[in-house]
Amino acid sequence: MTPAHRHPAPDAWRRWVEDPSAPEAAELEAHLARCESCRALVDGLRLAAPARRVAHWEEAPEDLVRAVFARTAERAPARPARTRPVPYEPLDIRGAAIAGDTGTRIASRSLEGGEIGVFVTPPAAEGTWKIRGKVWLRDEALADTELRLVLAQGEHVLASTTTRSGQDFVLEEVLAPGWQLELHLPTGDVWTLEDPEGE
Amino acid sequence: MAPDRDPPWPRRVPDPLGHSWAVPVGSSTIFVRPPDSDREERFARILAAADRFSDADLLGRCGAGDEDAWRLLVRRYQNLVYSTAREVGLDGDEAADVFQEVWLELQRSIPRIRHPEAIPRWLIVATRRLSYKVATRRRRLVPGISRDLVDPGTLPDAEIEAKTARARIEAALSRLDGKCARLLRLLFLDPANPAYEEISRRTGLAIGSIGPIRSRCLNRLRKILEENS
Ligand SMILES: [Zn+2]
């Protein structure tokens, strides 16, 4: 058996695993053919190669993880509510416009049951977008009902808040193009307002 | 058709996690905990078998209100989330804020997730966006922080693959004994690429015994990874 100090250094094997065309490749391959120990090392390097490509790895402090368990346990687990999306129809009036030169955009939907409208103001430089808006429901029986607003981006719920018919609401979030604002009505209907600039 | 009386409905079936009863109700499943069980002890038992559950399994259980499945999911990816926040340049306090926000966002997003198998990507996307949010809220200039973090389109697949692989290998290492795990980390994952002399000094192993121990430890690691895949 070859003594330990005659094996190529782990670094040499590492370079070779990452780049098999390295100049010392022929020499390494010849060694590998007759050394079981180095074959085991190379197996390990190959196994770990994808994981080694992370730029930074650090363990989350245990107290942080426990704090998450405590905070998430306080909240009811998210259960899919029975919802009925209200699709865009010819009746809808969808509006999108630019207001002034602050970059503020206006978006609104007018449906049979009411209206939802927002001003969307991007940050001056870095930071959060501001979505200010209002919901009007025609059904007076729903005037004092709490309505849920959900700001989502694909599979991410960025924020969730409540409002009432006729009341102003404000959401401040970091947004990428393509967000949706959903109004969940007690009837199960969901009105969706889409980012006027997103596709 | 005669009503189906056997088995009675809803039917209790043993939950494969072994800690509660899965009760099918209509098209969904609720989990009922046996009243006399000891939570911590049970959780330790589940942890040992946890790696056999896919992300989709766990997410489905979280959606049904299973708190243990939720804890397992957080455990599986806690370091991926924390590392991502630190990698973009946040300090410990900022990374702690982001860490909390990411898991809260996941909790409220569960019913919306259509690709549970892509949960590492989901977590990295959320961590990057929330890192940007926290850094700009503190009006702190962090060199790695830019608007690019907000756009999921700028997240390279290679980064997701590497972090997923790392989380998977770390989970397997955590099931090895401490000596094996330390040796394999030094040999295969330490970015400083320590030489055998350094590894020997840090593990207390003679240089000549590193090879045979490494082979044994590597076999165990491979076995765990194969069991889990
Ligand atoms: Zn050798």
Which among A17, A156, A173, A175 is the top mutation candidate for probing chain B, defined by the most B β-carbons within 10 Å of its own β-carbon?
A156
Here the tokens at position B15 are 């939950």
Task: Tell me what ipTM this predicted complex has.
Answer: 0.86
B90 three-state secondary structure: coil
In the reported structure, the alpha carbon of residue B224 is separated from the centroid of ligand 1 by a whole-number distance in angstroms of 26
**Contact of A9 with B195, CB cutoff 8 Å:** yes
- Nearest CA among B58, B36, B29 for reference residue B46: B58
Every domain of chain B and the residues it spans:
8-33+51-174, 178-229
A192 three-state secondary structure: strand
pLDDT at B3: 41
Instruction: Give per-residue pLDDT as tens, A94-110.
Output: 666 666 667 888 888 98
Q: Which long-range contacts (CB under 8 A, 24 or more apart) does B97-100 make?
A: B97/B134, B98/B127, B98/B130, B98/B131, B98/B134, B99/A60, B99/A64, B99/A68, B100/A64, B100/A67, B100/A68, B100/A71
In the reported structure, the alpha carbon of residue A52 is separated from the centroid of ligand 1 by a whole-number distance in angstroms of 22
The stretch A177-184 carries a mean pLDDT of: 92
Low-confidence ranges of chain B (pLDDT < 50): 1-12, 25-26, 35
Q: Which residue has the tokens 């700028």?
A: B154
Average pLDDT, chain A: 86
- Nearest CA among A125, A31, A27 for reference residue B141: A125
Q: Which fold, A84-194?
A: Immunoglobulin-like (2.60.40)
Rounded CA separation B221/B214 (Å): 10
Instruction: Give per-residue pLDDT as tens, B134-188.
Output: 988 876 667 767 888 888 888 999 999 999 999 999 988 988 889 999 999 999 9
CB contact under 8 A, A174 and B71: no
pLDDT at B147: 84
- What are the CA-CA distances from residue B225 to residues A47, B67, B162, B165 (Å)? 10, 25, 16, 11
pTM of the model: 0.83
Rounded CA separation A154/B152 (Å): 10
Of A40, A71, A155, the CB nearest to B113: A155
Return the CATH number of the domain spanning residue range B8-33+51-174. 1.10.1740.10
pLDDT at A176: 87
Q: B52: which DSSP letter?
A: G
Q: How many CB pairs under 8 A join A and B?
A: 179
Q: Which range among A102-106, A125-129, A148-152 has the greatest average pLDDT?
A: A148-152
pLDDT at B35: 47
pLDDT at B184: 95
pLDDT at A112: 87
The stretch A102-127 carries a mean pLDDT of: 87
A98 three-state secondary structure: strand
Every domain of chain A and the residues it spans:
10-52, 84-194
